[in-house]
Chains A and B, each alone.
Chain A
Amino acid sequence: MKKLTFKGGTHPPHSKKATEKLALEKANAPKIVVIPMQQHIGAPCDPIVAVGDEVKVGQKIGEAKGFVSVPVHSSVSGKVTAIEPRLYSGGTKVTCVVIESDMQDTIHESVTSKGSLEALSADDIKNIIKEAGIVGMGGAAFPTHVKLAPPPEKNVDTVILNGAECEPYLTADHRLMLENPEDVVYGLQAFMKALNVSKGYIGIEDNKMDAIEAMEKAAQGKEGIEVVALHAKYPQGAEKQLIYACTKREVPSGGLPADARVVVNNVGTAAAVAKAIKTGMPLVERIVTITGEGISNPKNLFVKIGTSFREVIEQCGGFKGNPQKIIAGGPMMGIAQFNIDIPVIKGTSGILTLSENELQLSDPLACIKCGRCIEVCPIGLLPTKLESFSSRNMLMEAENYHVLDCIECGSCSFICPAKRRLVESIRLGKAQVMAEKRKAKA
């Protein structure tokens, strides 16, 4: 089998052993869920329930505002006890609907099967996806229906499902592909139909051979669908790198995947779409990998949106030793948390509790110009230069050296022997350059 890949990249330890063999389990039902009205990139939702209202599972509780936005649904049945700003994993406070569960899990009447895929039109599919509140489940949480509506002149001809799961530690997608490959393929077919394309790839890193086999079996006989093995290398699952690996096309600088005639979705997203079409159940639950040396019993769990990190961690036997860092997402791009009383949201792919040993915290030293960061940069940037410009506020130089093309994958910081905080500075420089550009436009 051919192994596809991209230029650059790095090999962080996979650290997936603890959970890759653990079958998915259902998390304990939460007594209280805190559901943020913004779990996606784009405009936040308006709550459409009031304190004291009774809600059911799958009932819409937040209405989308604008095109780049999706509605939010209740993950339990019970009573709304509060609507107020609460801390979430983005690090800030957002409006949340707090629901006290009646532990009945009564399903809302709107949740019914949407019929067979053959019977649905492309617009039907897009509408179902939007109404089901589906966003990219890989972590970025971009509304999926927006991706399915590229401008027609882009001539999109390929859909890629991202099953690379290149982030170390995480095994949520891996388990999904092993245990429910049919839904993944079904979702991909829905995407292909919605976009009217005939070519679909499912890209999976070669450290998950069992998942590749399972997916191949499920895709057998499905026209136009090809499962491809990808070289296990970080960031194989980054959109641009995945597109290059599968199609050898490059997304132009500053452009979108559609400019390379491709739409990319996560395998988890595909499964969520399958569920929404087959059962009508919107996105109210997701798979979360809870792992790291700082947790007693690592697990892959189906967790209801709105369940607090604390409850999930407790279900995994609580902390082991003295974890130094709690991360929402993977270790390369996830966000460190200072509080575990925050809800699991649509984009929460993992909860990592890392020990001191795993973190290797150390102070940055002077750059010795080893060039490692340049070697690993999947975009071909000069991170050391960008860091230097960004930290000195030399925005013009930073822009000239393509700071805006940085995908913030963290490969450079990971590899740096001097332990410099490259991405951190570059991210800042990037934000400043973008702010300047907006100012110049205004």
Chain B
Amino acid sequence: MELLLLFISQVLVNNFVLARFLGICPFLGVSKRTEVAFSMGLATTFVMTLSAIATWLVQNFILIPFGMQRFLQYVAFILIIASLVQFVEMFLKKTSPTLYQSLGIFLPLITTNCAILGLALLAALNEYSLIQSTIFGFGAGVGFTLAITAMAGIREHIEFSDIPAAFKGVPITLVTAAIMAMAFLGFSGLIPM
């Protein structure tokens, strides 16, 4: 039950994009087409879950025992994430060319998605257990997917609208994000954090 709440909290209440401002770059940049956005979300969710596990292992078996988390955490985490993404890319290429076709192009982008590093750092900060970290990573990924897909849907929908010139592009996307964030605030208080 506690894990379920953690999951729901990451998807709805503390949505990474709309409440925590993590992963804004792809949220704004890769949300022009629904299908593409959804694939991006899937790829991100996948990497998020994996890196939540990987960084937990490194944090608890290497950094903490050797007392290095204060100085090497950032470097270590970003290296883990970068190599993980690289590994996933190679793995996909070998095992599932079709999946690689649809997700592959996003993988390099994911390394610099601050949602991944943010997730690893948050999990470490909250001293989550391995299973909690995994759920946390997965939930955050699902929340990200939800937000980016919905955003892409709206952007496709307003593509032909007569939007005032000054608002075309980035501003209207931000205004839409603002309204989405307002709506998601409705879930606040749903889960006592």
Contact = CB atoms under 8 A, between A and B. Distances in A.
A394 to B, nearest CB: 10
A392 B159 CA distance: 12
B160 interface: yes
Interface in A366-385: 366
A355 interface: no
A388 interface: yes
3 contacts: A366-B162, A388-B160, A392-B160
Contacts of B160: 388, 392
Q: In the A-B complex, list the 3 residue pairs whose CB atoms are closest, starting with the nearest.
A: A388-B160, A392-B160, A366-B162
Contacts of B162: 366
Nearest to A369: B157
For chain B, which range describes its interface: under 10, 10 to 19, 20 to 34, or 35 or more residues?
under 10
Nearest to B157: A369
A92 to B, nearest CB: 34
A388 to B, nearest CB: 6
Nearest to B162: A366
Interface of A: 366, 388, 392
A392 to B, nearest CB: 7
A85 to B, nearest CB: 42
Interface in B140-173: 160, 162
A388 B162 CA distance: 13
A388 B158 CA distance: 12
A367 to B, nearest CB: 10
A392 B162 CA distance: 14
A392 B160 CA distance: 9
A379 to B, nearest CB: 23
A433 to B, nearest CB: 19
A366 B162 CA distance: 10
Contacts of A388: 160
Nearest to A392: B160
A126 B100 CA distance: 60
A79 B162 CA distance: 62
Nearest to A389: B160
Contacts of A392: 160
Nearest to A388: B160
B79 to A, nearest CB: 44
A219 B160 CA distance: 56
A366 B161 CA distance: 10
A271 B162 CA distance: 54
A392 B161 CA distance: 12
A386 B160 CA distance: 13
A426 to B, nearest CB: 16
Contacts of A366: 162
A366 B160 CA distance: 12
A366 B163 CA distance: 13
Interface string B86-101: 0000000000000000
Nearest to A394: B160
A264 B66 CA distance: 86
A256 to B, nearest CB: 35
A161 B160 CA distance: 44
Nearest to B160: A388
Nearest to B161: A366
A272 B160 CA distance: 51
A388 B160 CA distance: 8
B158 to A, nearest CB: 12
B162 to A, nearest CB: 8
Nearest to A391: B160
Interface in B36-54: none
A382 to B, nearest CB: 13
A332 B162 CA distance: 31
A72 B168 CA distance: 60
A241 to B, nearest CB: 31
A230 to B, nearest CB: 38
B170 to A, nearest CB: 23
A350 to B, nearest CB: 38
A408 B149 CA distance: 35
B36 to A, nearest CB: 16
Nearest to A366: B162
A420 to B, nearest CB: 13
A9 B174 CA distance: 41
A362 B160 CA distance: 23
A366 B158 CA distance: 13
B131 to A, nearest CB: 44
B7 to A, nearest CB: 34
